[in-house]
Structure 1
Amino acid sequence: MKITRMDPEQKVRYLTTEPIPKLVRELSIPTMVSMMVTAFYNMADTAFVGRLDNQSTAAVGVAFSAMAMIQAISFLFGHGSGNYISRQLGARNYEDARRMAATSFFTAFASGVVLGILGILFVTPLSRLLGSTPTILPYTVRYLRVIFVGTPFIMCSFVLNNHLRFQGNASVAMIGIVTGAVANVLLDPLLIFGLSMGVEGAALSTVISQIMSFVLLWGLHRKRAVVQVHWHQMSLKRRYLEGILKGGIPSMFRQGLGSLATVLLNLAAGYYGGTMADQAIAAMGVVGRITAFANSALIGFGQGFQPICGTNYGAGCYKRVREAFFFCLKLGSGTLAVFSVLGILFAHPLMLLFRNDEQVARIGALALRAQCLVLVLSVWIILCSMLLQTIGMAAKASVVASARQGIMFVPMILLLPWLFGLAGVQFAQMAADILSFALTLPIGWSVLEQLREDRPKA
């Protein structure tokens, strides 16, 4: 493939003049493929580890919370800088965009080193905190110790991917992500079974694939990115650090609260699962991976929308922002409706595919069907969160981003299991999704009403 680079002015003109359906297709399909492939290799981890035992399956589910924390901090830097860069490109402030790119990349790498060291030092108490039972704990510790070694590369991969994506280079970003995902799927059976490394093999496969993805993304970034990363342009001025925080905190909340939700879910499943605690934790972990795969399609639409949104908002083309939002809303709703029907019809065999245990499948199938019934509501919630975040409405974006797995989920996972036992665990996310939709509908609609007319030209 021949790699070419537009200059900043060409890229801005392209994003502010091309028809919205064409732009959404060009930017959403690659990001959707990237997200679904990433979710697929997370599912592959679960499927391969599921061939070992319930403890290993549950350990990967518990460790997913720690990985979500790493991703949350990565999203802080990647989405925070990416949103800022796209708006500055739209406003033709190219030097400001370059300084943000350098600042976010190098601070992310330093943060990854610190986070990795702390994770290795405190891996055992962290594993307990995440919900490991005594039988699961040794497996979780072995898995996470390997994951933390690769933290700097995992975080920098997220940053580079988002820099490319927010600059309108979604297909280029996809190459790096998909390559890493394919490597993970190929390495899993080799390391887990071929070299008899068990759960540590799954973790090592993830780390190796993330390093490969980082190296490839760095090379693609040097050849294709409109805004390059250079050490001498790094700046710790307040406006860049504030830009990262304002643009990235909603994503960190969304991902970080997802991690908290998984911890609470594991604790509730372990407590209310009784004699089947390990099976309940394993079941809810598998359900989480399956629904994450479905949501990855929606997030792909949303991430394709973000560079269109940011650049056009920065350029004052508000009507194009609104048009792109509703176009993605229609596509996302149709896609998730298909996933919902498939999930409801094939819930039990899907569970057995990941863990051939009838008790795990029975517990998980009910939870999966419940979540699929309201899955389409998350289209509005997630797209509104991305809209608000990209146009710089950090406070509203944080509220919307926190709703599904924070503001609404935490009360539900505490209350419903207390009232209904294990059934409350299985239906907590469904209840949280309904309440989150009711909260975010008026917030999102009021902002969209403000985007009916373009900003007057100076």
Structure 2
Amino acid sequence: MRREVEAMRDQIVGGPIVKTLIVLAYPLIINQLVQVLYNLTDTYWLGKLGREELAAPGTAWPLVWFFMAIGMGFATAGFAFVSQYVGAREYEKANRAAGALYSLMMLFAIGVGVFGVLSAPYLLKFMNVSDTVYPYALNYTRVIFAGIPFAFTLFAFNFLLRAIGDTKTPVKINIATVLLNLALDPFLIFGWGPFPELGVIGAAVATMFSNSLGSLFGGYLLFRGKVGIHLTVEGLKPDWPFYKRIFRVGIPSSVGSSTTALGFVILTRIIFTLGGQFGEADVAFATYSITNRLTNFMFAFSDGISMAMGTMVGQTVGAKLYERAKTIAEKTMAINFAILSVGTLLFAFFRVEIFSFFINDPAIIAESAKVVKYFSASLPFFGIFSAVNNVFQSSGHTKKSMLLSILRLWGLRLPLSYGLGILVRDTSGMWLGMGLSNVLGAVVALAWFLTGSWMERIIEEPASAS
């Protein structure tokens, strides 16, 4: 496996940029599309039960994401170390970093799962979830939190293999888990055949069970040395000096990710609040939930390319080829902007047909017109913001990523969404605020990227303070 990792490393740091980007990106794009297919199918089946059931996962996921984001910050740090060690041809250090990350994620996830199950009722009440949606959201949230340890270790597996340039193996496992999830969804939701009718809980159980199997198989591959990273029981033992380095790089990323996730918890409260003031709360949030699913489909392409760029930037920075890393990032931004521009046009033209497919509710379809008018044009700009954020994380400059994420959400999106919603006394102001946060966030991100302050490795001692 070492020879394959070396060959991929040489292509990343010296091969044709766009061709290498495509080689790395296409499995990630397929993976993202399959994940989106699951979300769309989940939304489709739950839409058959009603708007309250359809809104339950969208209500639960900001909470789950908040706690997962804390641990994902350390996964980001592990990715930066592993990719830069590979770029510097220090493969044993890459394995040691991988082992430290995996054990850290496992322990943290167990604590998060227990806390989430116990605190879910209080967190949902804080979000001002409507009484009609609350019981469905509570059941869904608790089941998802119970499966968090498996979700975390599956994420760790994906991050580690992406760091060494293997984007195909994680995709195969993820596709298998998503297909299993898709197959189980209607059986567990509606009680087909010998299965019990679980409703919203059935969708959560299908997700948890599928992730668990994927996580166990990913762990098997890592510990048996079947992939480019080889974990051992010895390698999982605490390495406090290295943990200190992971925490130093990972804590800003965790803070950035978790405050972003918390911001979306607050945004959920804003949507329910403004939706209730100027219309129907459930209509506003159901429209938001469907919009999220649709934008996730568009971002499947740009996110896949951005993640591939992250692998290239990480290894290229590790090899001290900073100008090449900058060129890789600039080409990625241009590609993302073009892809999301096309997607936005399709979204606008086929809005009615798309929303009607999920739920034939005239109120939701009417609300979706505001989404297209006031929000959708900002999506190509988010592609630029996302790419710059990924550059900062992949190069290990996580403080920059943290500040950028906090600015877009807390400095721009939340005050603009709520303030404009109150100002115009309509949910259209809320959608406009969301759109403006993407555009202004992209302008700031691009300006910061162009300063070149991220062009420095973190694997050297003393490491950059970022």
- TM-score (norm: length of structure 2): 0.90
User: Contact 2:63–2:265 (CA<8 Å) still a contact in 1?
Assistant: no
Three-state SS of the structure 2 residue aligned to 1:408 is helix
Cα 1:106–1:92 shift into 2, 3 Å: same
Distance in structure 2 (CA, Å) of the matches to 1:292 and 1:369: 19
Q: How far did 1:67 drift? A: 2.7
Q: Aligned residue for 1:225?
A: 227
Aligned residue identity for 1:284? Y
Are 1:46 and 2:5 matched, yes or no?
Answer: no
Distance in structure 1 (CA, Å) of the matches to 2:50 and 2:147: 25
Aligned residue identity for 2:437? A
Cα 1:339–1:369 shift into 2, 3 Å: farther
Counterpart mapping for 1:31-430 below 5 A? 31-193=28-190, 194=192, 195-221=196-222, 222-234=224-236, 236-249=238-251, 252=254, 255-274=257-276, 276-421=280-425, 422-430=427-435
Three-state SS of the structure 2 residue aligned to 1:228 is coil
Distance in structure 2 (CA, Å) of the matches to 1:188 and 1:449: 44
User: Contact 1:56–1:199 (CA<8 Å) still a contact in 2?
Assistant: yes
Aligned residue identity for 2:318? G
Three-state SS of the structure 1 residue aligned to 2:375 is helix
- 1:165-195 Cα distance to aligned partner (Å, 9 max, x none): 1110001111111211121111111111123
User: Contact 1:147–1:204 (CA<8 Å) still a contact in 2?
Assistant: yes
Distance in structure 2 (CA, Å) of the matches to 1:431 and 1:323: 27
User: Contact 1:382–1:401 (CA<8 Å) still a contact in 2?
Assistant: no
Three-state SS of the structure 2 residue aligned to 1:6 is helix
**Structure 2 unaligned regions, length at least 5:** 457-466
- Aligned residues with identical type, % of pairs: 24
Question: Which is further off, 208-217 or 376-385?
Answer: 208-217
Distance in structure 1 (CA, Å) of the matches to 2:226 and 2:366: 48
Three-state SS of the structure 1 residue aligned to 2:3 is coil
Q: How far did 1:73 drift? A: 3.1
Three-state SS of the structure 2 residue aligned to 1:39 is helix
Distance in structure 1 (CA, Å) of the matches to 2:325 and 2:336: 16
Aligned residue identity for 1:305? M
Distance in structure 1 (CA, Å) of the matches to 2:367 and 2:93: 52
Distance in structure 2 (CA, Å) of the matches to 1:283 and 1:22: 38
User: Contact 2:395–2:454 (CA<8 Å) still a contact in 1?
Assistant: no
Cα 1:335–1:219 shift into 2, 3 Å: farther
| Aligned-residue CA RMSD (Å) | 2.2
- 1:209-258 Cα distance to aligned partner (Å, 9 max, x none): 11122133234444543232222123544553344345545654564344
Q: Aligned residue for 2:461?
A: none
- TM-score (norm: length of structure 1): 0.91
User: Contact 1:374–1:434 (CA<8 Å) still a contact in 2?
Assistant: yes
Q: How far did 1:433 drift? A: 0.9
Question: Which is further off, 347-356 or 106-115?
Answer: 347-356
Aligned residue identity for 2:34? V
User: Contact 2:9–2:165 (CA<8 Å) still a contact in 1?
Assistant: no
Question: Which is further off, 124-133 or 238-247?
Answer: 238-247
User: Contact 1:77–1:105 (CA<8 Å) still a contact in 2?
Assistant: no
Q: How far did 1:314 drift? A: 0.8
Three-state SS of the structure 1 residue aligned to 2:48 is coil
Distance in structure 1 (CA, Å) of the matches to 2:347 and 2:248: 36
Three-state SS of the structure 2 residue aligned to 1:169 is coil
User: Contact 2:51–2:282 (CA<8 Å) still a contact in 1?
Assistant: yes
User: Contact 2:392–2:454 (CA<8 Å) still a contact in 1?
Assistant: no
Distance in structure 2 (CA, Å) of the matches to 1:290 and 1:412: 23
Aligned residue identity for 1:401? S
Distance in structure 1 (CA, Å) of the matches to 2:252 and 2:40: 26
Distance in structure 2 (CA, Å) of the matches to 1:403 and 1:352: 35
Q: How far did 1:11 drift? A: 4.3
Question: Which is further off, 274-283 or 296-305?
Answer: 274-283
Cα 1:22–1:30 shift into 2, 3 Å: same
Question: Which is further off, 251-260 or 176-185?
Answer: 251-260
Q: How far did 1:24 drift? A: 0.5
Q: How far did 1:48 drift? A: 1.2
Q: Aligned residue for 1:454?
A: none
Q: Aligned residue for 2:441?
A: 436
Three-state SS of the structure 2 residue aligned to 1:46 is helix
- 1:59-103 Cα distance to aligned partner (Å, 9 max, x none): 221012123224413422322201110111122332322221111
Q: How far did 1:326 drift? A: 2.3
User: Contact 1:58–1:285 (CA<8 Å) still a contact in 2?
Assistant: yes
Q: How far did 1:302 drift? A: 0.8
Aligned residue identity for 1:430? G
Distance in structure 1 (CA, Å) of the matches to 2:306 and 2:83: 15
Aligned residue identity for 1:256? S
User: Contact 1:371–1:427 (CA<8 Å) still a contact in 2?
Assistant: yes
Q: Aligned residue for 1:456?
A: none
Cα 1:293–1:131 shift into 2, 3 Å: farther
Aligned residue identity for 1:63? A
User: Contact 1:86–1:310 (CA<8 Å) still a contact in 2?
Assistant: yes
Structure 1 moving runs of 4+ over 6 Å:
448-451
Aligned residue identity for 1:419? L
Aligned residue identity for 1:350? I
Aligned length: 448
